[in-house]
């Protein structure tokens, strides 16, 4: 095997592995399966989108990857190490911005920074504030920001520690359509610039096709992988191109395959 | 602009209207000789008494003594109330361990402590400071615990997901999260401390505003009693306003 082929193979080495992950809740003495034997792996630097209807366990899966919930069967391995607790190496962006209302934008972004040197810290915070396009709002409190701006600040806060993986839990779910599209573009740009591996949960099929290199479609009750596919469309992606719509349709049909048109009987 | 100035003048008039009406009715009744001056002296004789008491230093000396007692007891109450409140708020075990005893001691009014405090401490300064401490401590403690229990669990989760070190978590997450309740506790605590100092001085003291009132009562000096009461009210109001101001400056994010 040539050296080039060997490095190519190494690159293909899975970075994040979800290995037989199960989770169930007990409700009214009934066992309720939320995640049923989930297996997949992703490469470093990929954007992976987990798509599913609400209640399919996609957020549960993301919380398991973050380490916030460790009460599940199976293993989650990132870069060869099992996830057992939350870690700074995994940044999280939630559906609600979850900024600390008592801290300004720059204090929020710098919250988790462990850099001691003040000048260096300031520089880093500034870099990420500018990266998400919030220059000029450093001293603003969260109450003074719009929904989209708050979410930008949340992204900057999750990125500032240079996490190995960025986890996003329906980050744009609560935004209006225009802000949403703008932020999707921004996220893609940021990802290409910083090269961060991202796992994003969404119920928006178009969002997934626009952003993802790799899509996992989850079935509901119990959450089970229905479809796994790689999106090889060129970037920037055109939401109205034929290829784009084909991928979208493919996923769409996973959800609505049972819905056949009722046969029309007529006499 | 003119409109706004006009409106705020209106508000100011409303703010003072009731007080001024009471004063004028009182003055008119006194002028017409409807009042027994032993029971209720005329406003102008109260004013004269204020001037006398200020001139011979009795008013400010006693006020200063009362205020400094309050500050000592209040400082202790705030220090212990906040730090124990944080511990109890953070630890479910500590919460369960202390709950019964706190719930039992809390309803005992500080005045009911006075006999015991005299038996323990005599009538010296330490007894009064202890009583004032009791007056503020439970109010502050309970508000701090409530504040911490009410912190948004979603924000706590964020802090946790970032592996925030313990002390940083306390300083940047727990305390600011509970700050509105902490301030409520600090304000109600201060007013209850202020009530306690007067109660303590009424019973066992030879200085302070409470003593000034009690001493004047023995000599039938109704005007001094009223001046003393007014001073207690005004000082209490000023202390509360000061804390409100600090609160507003501190909780800028709300």
HEC assignment per residue over chain A:
CCHHHHHHHHHHCCCEEEEEEEEEEEECCEEEEEEEEEEEEECCCCEEEEECCCCCCHHHHHHHHHCCCCCCEEEEEECCEECCCCCCCEEEECCCCCCCCCCCHHHHHCCCCCCCCHHHHHHHHHHHHHHCCCCCCCCCCHHHCCHHHHHHHHHHHHHCCCCCEEEEECCCCCCCHHHHHHHHHHHHHHHHHHCCEEEEEECCHHHHHHHCCEEEEEECCCEEEEEEEECCCCCCCCCCCHHHHHHHHHHHHHHHCCCCCCCCCCC
For residues B110 and B134, the answer to whether their CB atoms sit within 8 Å is: yes
Residues B147 and B239 reside in one and the same domain = yes
Measured between CA atoms, how close is A235 to chain B, in angstroms? 32
CA distances from residue A79 to A93, A252, B69 in whole angstroms, order as listed:
21, 32, 63
CA-nearest residue of chain A to B155? A98
Tell whether the model's pLDDT for residue A7 goes beyond 50.
Answer: no
Residue of B154, B162, B176 with shortest CB distance to A96:
B154
Answer yes or no: is pLDDT of B19 > 80: yes
Specify the 3-state DSSP secondary structure of B113: helix
Q: Which residues of chain B approach chain A closer than 8 Å at the C-beta?
A: 154-155, 157-164, 172-173, 176-177, 179, 251-254
| Position with higher pLDDT, A7 vs B110 | B110
Q: Which one of A110, A137, A161 terminates a domain?
A: A161
The count of structural domains within chain B is 2
Q: Which residues of A touch B (CB under 8 A)?
A: 66-68, 86-88, 90, 92, 94, 96, 98, 100-103, 111-112, 141-143, 161
Same domain, A239 and A126: no
Q: Are residues A66 and A193 in the same domain?
A: yes
Residues B64, B169 within the same domain: yes
Question: Is the confidence at residue A264, as pLDDT, over 80?
Answer: no
Q: Are residues B17 and B62 in the same domain?
A: no
* Cβ separation B158–A92 shorter than 8 A: yes
pTM: 0.82
- Chain B partners within 8 Å of A87 (Cβ): 163
Give B172's contacts in chain A (Cβ within 8 Å): 100, 103, 111
How large is the ipTM? 0.82
Same domain, yes or no: A173 and A241: yes
For residues B102 and B21, state if they share a domain.
no
CB spacing of A92 vs B160 below 8 angstroms:
no
Query: What value does the mean pLDDT take over residues B240-251?
Result: 94
Res. A188: pLDDT tops 60 = yes
Question: Over 50: is that where the pLDDT of B121 sits?
Answer: yes
pLDDT at B1 over 80: no
Q: pLDDT digit string (tens) for B62-86? A: 999 999 999 999 999 999 999 999 9
Query: Looking at residue B254, what DSSP letter applies?
Result: -
CATH number, position B63: 1.10.3720.10
Tell me: pLDDT of A141 over 80: yes
Residue A263 pLDDT greater than 70, yes or no: no
Task: Tell me what the mean pLDDT of segment B229-234 comes to.
Answer: 93
* pLDDT mean over B108-125: 88
CA distance B103 to chain A (A): 32
**Residue numbers in B near A103 (CB within 8 A):** 172, 176, 253
Contact A142 B177 (CB under 8 A): no
Q: Domain limits at B7?
A: 1-34
Q: How many domains does chain A contain in total?
A: 2
* A123 Cβ contact list (under 8 Å, min separation 6): none
State whether A208 and A103 are in the same domain. no
pLDDT of residue A265: 63
CATH assignment at residue A199: 3.40.50.300
Residue B169: list chain A partners with CB under 8 A.
Answer: none
Same domain, B4 and B113: no
Residues of A in contact with B160 (CB under 8 A): 68, 86
Contacts with B161 from chain A: Cβ below 8 Å: 66-68, 86, 90, 92
Local structure of B206: helix, strand or coil: coil
Bigger pLDDT: A101 vs B197: A101
Q: Are residues A110 and A223 in the same domain?
A: no
Distance in Å, alpha carbon of B245 to nearest chain A alpha carbon = 18
In this prediction, residue A2 carries a pLDDT of 46
* B52 in the same domain as B10: no
Residues B24, B93 within the same domain: no
> Which contiguous run of DSSP H or E holds residue B14?
helix B2-31
Name the residue among B155, B163, B253 with its Cβ closest to that of A88: B163
In whole angstroms, what is the distance from residue B55 CA to residue B31 CA? 26
Per-residue pLDDT averaged across B168-179, rounded? 93
Instruction: Determine the pLDDT at residue A117.
Output: 87
Determine whether the interchain pair B253/A102 forms a contact, defined as Cβ–Cβ distance below 8 Å.
Answer: yes
| pLDDT cut 70: percent of chain A above it | 91
CA diameter of chain B: 76
- Residue A11: per-residue pLDDT: 52
- Residues A240, A118 share a domain: no
3-state SS assignment for residue B200: helix
pLDDT tier for residue A46 given thresholds of 50, 70 and 90:
very high
Lowest mean pLDDT among A9-13, B48-52, B136-140: A9-13
Averaged pLDDT of chain A: 87
Mean pLDDT of chain B: 91
The Cβ-side half-sphere exposure at B151, using a 13 Å CA radius, reads 28
Chain A: residue whose CA lies nearest to B157: A68
- Please give the Cα distance from A138 to B234 (Å, whole number): 42
The whole-number pLDDT of residue B194 equals 93
pLDDT at A267: 60
Domain housing A139: 99-161
Q: Are residues B83 and B155 in the same domain?
A: yes
Q: Residues B227, B50: contact at Cβ < 8 Å?
A: yes
Cβ contact A101–B252 (<8 Å) = no
Q: What pLDDT score was predicted for residue A12?
A: 60
pLDDT at A8 over 80: no
Residue A28 has pLDDT above 90, yes or no: no
Q: How high is the pLDDT of residue A48?
A: 95
Same domain, B126 and B97: yes
Q: Please give, rounded to a whole number of angstroms, the shortest distance from the CA of B209 to a CA of chain A.
A: 40
Residue range B45-64: mean pLDDT, rounded: 93
| Mean pLDDT value across residues B238-244 | 95
Q: Is there a contact between A161 and B157 if contact means CB atoms under 8 Å apart?
A: no
Using the predicted structure, report yes or no on whether residue B7 has a pLDDT greater than 90: no
User: Could you tell me if B222 and B170 lie in one domain?
Assistant: yes
Q: What is the mean pLDDT of residues A2-26?
A: 70
Q: Is the same domain home to A84 and A171? A: yes
Which of B151, B152, B158, B167 to mutate to probe the A interface, most A CBs <10 Å? B158
Which of the residue ranges A26-30, A107-111, B187-191 would you say has the lowest mean pLDDT? A26-30
Chain A interface disruption, residue of B155, B162, B173, most A CBs within 10 A: B162
| A93: nearest CA partner in chain B | B158
pLDDT per residue as tens digits for the range A57-87: 888 899 999 999 888 889 999 988 899 899 8
Q: Which tops the pLDDT comparison, B6 or B134?
A: B134
């Amino acid at each position: 095997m040539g050296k080039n082929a060997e490095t190519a193979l190494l690159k293909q080495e899975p970075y994040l592995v979800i290995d037989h992950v199960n989770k169930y809740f007990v409700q009214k003495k009934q066992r309720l399966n939320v995640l049923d034997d989930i297996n997949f792996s992703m490469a470093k630097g990929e954007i992976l989108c987990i798509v599913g209807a609400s209640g399919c366990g996609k957020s549960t899966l993301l919380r398991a990857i973050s380490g916030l919930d460790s009460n599940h069967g199976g293993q989650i391995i990132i870069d060869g190490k099992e996830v057992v607790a939350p870690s700074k190496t995994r940044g999280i962006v939630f559906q609600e911005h979850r900024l600390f209302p008592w801290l300004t934008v720059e204090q929020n972004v710098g919250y988790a920074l462990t850099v001691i040197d003040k000048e260096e810290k300031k520089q880093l915070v500034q870099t990420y504030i500018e990266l998400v396009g919030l220059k000029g709002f450093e001293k603003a409190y969260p109450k003074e920001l719009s929904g989209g701006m708050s979410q930008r600040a949340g992204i900057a806060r999750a990125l500032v520690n240079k996490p190995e993986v960025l986890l996003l839990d329906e980050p744009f779910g609560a935004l209006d359509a225009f802000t949403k599209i703008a932020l999707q573009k921004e996220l893609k740009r940021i990802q290409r610039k910083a090269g961060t591996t991202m796992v994003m949960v969404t119920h928006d099929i178009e969002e997934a096709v626009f952003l993802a290199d790799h899509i996992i479609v989850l079935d509901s009750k119990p959450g089970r992988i229905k479809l796994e596919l790689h999106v090889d469309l060129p970037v920037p992606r055109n939401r109205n191109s034929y290829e784009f719509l084909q991928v979208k349709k493919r996923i769409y049909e996973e959800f609505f395959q049972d819905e056949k048109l009722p046969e029309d009987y007529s006499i | 602009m003119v409109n706004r100035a006009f409106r705020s003048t209106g508000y100011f008039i409303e703010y003072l209207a009731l007080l001024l009406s009471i004063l004028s009715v009182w003055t008119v009744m006194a002028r017409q000789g409807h009042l027994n001056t032993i029971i209720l002296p005329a406003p102008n004789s109260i004013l004269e008494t204020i001037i006398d008491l200020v001139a011979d230093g009795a008013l400010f000396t006693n006020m200063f003594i009362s205020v400094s007692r309050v500050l000592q007891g209040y400082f202790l109450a705030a220090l212990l109330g906040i730090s124990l409140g944080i511990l109890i708020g953070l630890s479910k075990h500590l919460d369960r361990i202390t709950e019964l005893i706190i719930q039992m001691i809390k309803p005992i009014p500080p005045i009911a402590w006075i006999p015991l405090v005299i038996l323990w401490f005599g009538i010296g300064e330490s007894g009064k400071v202890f009583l004032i401490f009791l007056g503020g401590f439970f109010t502050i403690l309970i508000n701090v615990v409530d504040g911490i229990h009410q912190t948004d669990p979603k924000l706590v989760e964020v802090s946790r997901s970032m592996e925030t070190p313990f002390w940083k978590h306390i300083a940047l997450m727990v305390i600011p999260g509970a700050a509105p309740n902490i301030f409520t506790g600090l304000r109600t605590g201060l007013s209850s401390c202020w009530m306690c100092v007067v109660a303590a001085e009424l019973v066992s003291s030879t200085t302070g505003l409470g003593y000034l009132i009690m001493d004047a009562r023995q000599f039938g000096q109704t005007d001094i009693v009223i001046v003393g009461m007014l001073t207690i009210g005004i000082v209490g109001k000023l202390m509360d306003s000061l804390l409100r101001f600090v609160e507003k400056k501190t909780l800028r994010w709300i």
